[in-house]
Structure 1
Amino acid sequence: MDNDQILGNIAALVAEERSLRERSGRQLGLDADEQSRLHSVEVQLDQCWDLLRRRRAKSEFGDDPDTAEVRPADEVEDYRG
């Protein structure tokens, strides 16, 4: 996956997150499935941003950005503290 694909994924996830949050504001909240999906989208966004940052860092320092891999959700979420 290249940077443009990652940015495309980020754009799609942001749109979905925005839609879920708007729906939550118009209604009395989200049902359990929607809440679960929102959490999943948030985690995927964190993973995408993390991957993009690491790919850019590798490129900047002359390393192959394609060696960067998506880190597990618990690892990416842990550093947010």
Structure 2
Amino acid sequence: MDNEQILDHIGALVREEHALRDREGGLTDDERVRLRTLEVQLDQCWDLLRQRRAKSEYGDNPDNAATRPPGEVEGYLS
């Protein structure tokens, strides 16, 4: 997946996330699980994009970047 494809995927995930957050009347249990899944997937996509950009900037092949597992991406400290 190249940077443009990752950004397109991020856009689709964000649209779905906003649709769920904008629902009136609250979310079902399944929708809450889906929302959490979307949040994790977005974090993974942003992380992958940052990896790719860093590799490109420093002369490495961006295709060597890989999606990190949720526990690693979600465990970052601010």
Shorter-chain TM-score bucket reads over 0.9
Q: Deviations over 1:53-78 (max 9, x none)?
A: 01000000000000000000010000
**2:72 match:** 75
In the superposition, the TM-score normalised over structure 2's length comes to 0.97
In the superposition, the TM-score normalised over structure 1's length comes to 0.93
Partner letter of residue 18 of structure 1? Answer: H
Calculate percent identity across the aligned residue pairs. Answer: 64
Moved over 4 A (4+): none
* Secondary structure at the counterpart of residue 53 of structure 1: helix
Unaligned runs of 5+ in 2: none
The number of aligned residues is 78
Unaligned runs of 5+ in 1: none
Matches within 5 A, 1:1-16: 1-16=1-16
RMSD: 0.9
Q: Which structure shows the higher helix fraction?
A: 1
Partner letter of residue 6 of structure 1? Answer: I
